[in-house]
Structures are given as structure tokens and as C-alpha cells.
Amino acid sequence: MKEKKIKKLINTLIPKPEGPFSLDELSNITGAEIFNHDNTYIKNINNVFDASEGDITFVDNPKYVNEINKTKASAIIVSYFNKKKANTLKPLLLLKNPYLGYSKIANYFYPNRLLSKVSNTKKNNIAKPNYISSTTIIQNNVFIDENANIGSFCSIGPNVIIGKNSVIGNNVNIANAFIGNNAIIQNGTVIGQDGFGYALNTNQYHKIPQIGLVVMGNNVEFGCNCTIDKGSLKHTEIGNGVKVDNLVHIAHNVKIGDNTVIAGQTGIAGSTLIGKNVMIGGQVGIAGHLNIGDNVKIGAQAGVTKNILSHDIVSGTPAIKLKSYLKQSIILKKMVNKNG
């Protein structure tokens, strides 16, 4: 399938926002002060990197403060503290807690994101030949290509495209996802449910809508009881040829490059980017908003807290280069034996 056609199909799965809304209206629902006020109407909310004209975005993470002056968004939610770093004439919505403001505006644009009606006919396109168990539920806006094999007690949809020759096991739940050709999804795996996103307001958490998708390439395989969260504003992306063991969690907005393999009980936190041909051992924990390069090897039970350059081999917690980790282990063993 050509890339342009894939993008067009993916766009049919994405929920449509309410609006457009004036800056005054968005200011009222957040309690924000508007700096550089103009008559801009906002059509959507997006992250700081992908936002375009007509979007509003937000900057809260210190890593991304410099993006205030680079983003193509028409308006930006920022803290009073970061206002002094903004060298732009674009409108700024100033708040003590920009993340909470983002949560309120995102909910305003997408108020019905959790609602879906079960249907076996509306907006569905199921090719033949294929085998779909009679105990599986097909919800709205689902396309299943030819030669699919879907097991018992699955839930497919809403907003799902499954490519040719895909094998879906029993008790699998897939929603808000584009899955390429020749996929294998083993029993009990859940794809495309909400990521873990909340904004704290004093002693109460406000849920942040998760409006992106899970987008998988071709020849991807997931083991049993994995969970792959849909993106918050954009997509969680799994490249071609990725192979994932049982009991792996992939959080929202994670991107995994082609032909990466991940062993069981690994957890990858949100917005981390993992390159191509990476090998990740069992029980690895990877923190959020990190960059893992191409051809990296991560040893079992490693705790990754920093970026890893391409071709590095790391192990330990916190993860360091393998040679250093082995030296530390030898020195520590000698110290223990000497004093034991």
C-alpha cells in the first residue's frame, strides 16, 4: 500500500474536533491571561512540534521551552515563568499550570472522545476471504482486509484498519489503530486504549483526552497480554518488522523504529523515541521523553534514564555502557569479598 493511501486511511480514523473557538473563549475555560491578544480563531490543539497555523499548543516540559519560538502554532499555552523566554508576537495564554490548561482545552475540543456505539454494519468494510469468530464484536468505522484471521471474544473498533493476512488471537481488544499487513497479535493483547495522562490541580487529577492512534507497519508481531496505548495528540508508532514479547507495555506517543525486538516485561514510558534494529532485554524500564539511537542493545533489567547514542550497548540501573557496568560489578564483588 502506498504511503499517501496509508495517510489518507489513517485520517479517516482520527476524531474530528469541535470548534473553531476564539482565544477569549479558550481563555475563559482555563482562566488564562492572554498576552499579545489578537482575533485568531483556533481550529484544533496539537503538540509543539506538529502544530500548524490554526492550532493552539502548549509548553510545560523544560526540555521544550525553546520550541516556543519555533512552533508554527497560532497560539501557545505557557507559564508566567516561561513568558520571558518567548521571543514571539503570537498570542500566549499565560497560566501557573500550562499542563492543566492544555487538559481543559483538549477536553473542550474533544468532549465525546470516550463514546462509541457498537455496530456490525455502519461504516464497516470487511473484505473476503477471511475468518472472524462469531463471538467477536466489530464496532464502528472498521476496515479489515482480506485473509484476516480473528479469534474468539475479540473487540475490534471503533476506528480500526487491519491489513492483509493478519492473525489476531483470542480475547484481543483493538481500537483507534492502523495495523499493516501480516500482523500477528497474540492472545489478550490490548491496542489503542487511553494512555496515562492526567494534570494535577491542587489535590485533584484531571483526565487528559487521548485523541491519537496506534499506527503499526507491516510484519509486526506482539506476544500475549501486551498493552499499546494510543497517542495523546499524535500517534504511537510501531515500525515495520518490530517483534515484541509477552507482557510488554508501550505508552502513548512512543515511536519504535523498524526491526526492533523487545523481550518480556519491558515498560516504555511516554514520548520516548526508539531507533531501528534495537535489541531490548527482559524487564527493562525506559523513562519518558528519551532518545534511543539505532542498533542499540539494552541488557535485561536495565533502567534507562538518559538518552542512548546509536550502536551503544548498555546495562544496569541506571543504565551505563556495558564495559563500565561489568567493571563496576567486578570491583563491587572484590570489595564485598574483602570486607565480608
Digit-coded pLDDT (tens) for 108-126 = 999 866 554 444 445 678 8
Confirm whether 57 is domain-assigned.
yes
- Please indicate, yes or no, whether residues 162 and 268 belong to a single structural domain of this protein: yes
Claim to verify: residue 73 and residue 137 sit in the same structural domain: no
Q: What are phi and psi of 19, to 5 degrees?
A: 105, -170
Tell the residue number behind the cell numbers 471474544, with chain if given. Answer: 153
- In this structure, the answer to whether residues 272 and 202 fall within a common structural domain is yes
Q: Does a structural domain hold residue 218?
A: yes
**Tens digits of per-residue pLDDT, 276-304?**
999 999 999 999 999 999 999 999 999 99
Render pLDDT for 43-98 as a digit per residue (tens, 0 to 9): 999 999 999 999 999 998 888 888 888 999 999 999 998 888 888 889 999 999 99
d(CA 5, CA 212): 18
Do 158 and 85 share a domain, yes or no?
Answer: no
> 150 and 86: one domain?
no
Last-in-domain residue among 109, 135, 165:
109
- What's the whole-model pTM score? 0.90
Grid cell at residue 140: 464502528
Please give the Cα distance from 292 to 269 (Å, whole number).
12
Q: Contact at 8 Å (CB) between 210 and 196? A: no
Are 94 and 168 contained in the same domain?
no
Query: Is the pLDDT confidence value at 230 over 70?
Result: yes
Note if 249 is an active site residue.
no
- Residue 25, domain extent: 18-109
Lowest mean pLDDT among 5-14, 248-257, 290-299: 5-14
Residue 80 shares a structural domain with residue 182? no
Q: How high is the mean pLDDT of the chain?
A: 91
Cell of 232: 495523546
Question: For residue 87, what pLDDT is reported?
Answer: 84
CATH at 29: 3.40.1390.10
Q: What residues have CB less than 8 Å from 238, skipping those under 6 apart?
A: 214, 215, 216, 217, 220, 228, 250, 256
Structurally, how many domains does the chain consist of? 2
CATH of the domain at 187: 2.160.10.10
Query: What's the helix, strand, coil split of the chain in %, to 5?
Result: 15, 30, 55
User: Annotated catalytic residue: which of 37, 206, 252, 311?
Assistant: 252
- Contact (CB, 8 A) for 172 and 157: no
* 340 located within any domain: no
Terminal C-alpha separation, the chain: 64
Please tell me the least confidently modeled range out of 9-13, 24-28, 301-305.
Answer: 9-13
Are residue 214 and residue 75 in the same domain, yes or no?
A: no
Peptide bond into 62 cis (omega under 30): no
Residue 116 has a pLDDT of 47
Are 244 and 288 members of one domain?
yes
Residues 42 and 145 in one domain: no
Same domain for 178 and 287, yes or no, is yes
Q: What is the spatial distance between Cα 44 and Cα 32, in angstroms, rounded to a whole number? A: 18
List, for residues 127-184, the tens digit of each pLDDT value.
888 899 999 999 999 999 999 999 999 999 999 999 999 999 999 999 999 999 999 9
Residues 268 and 203 in one domain: yes
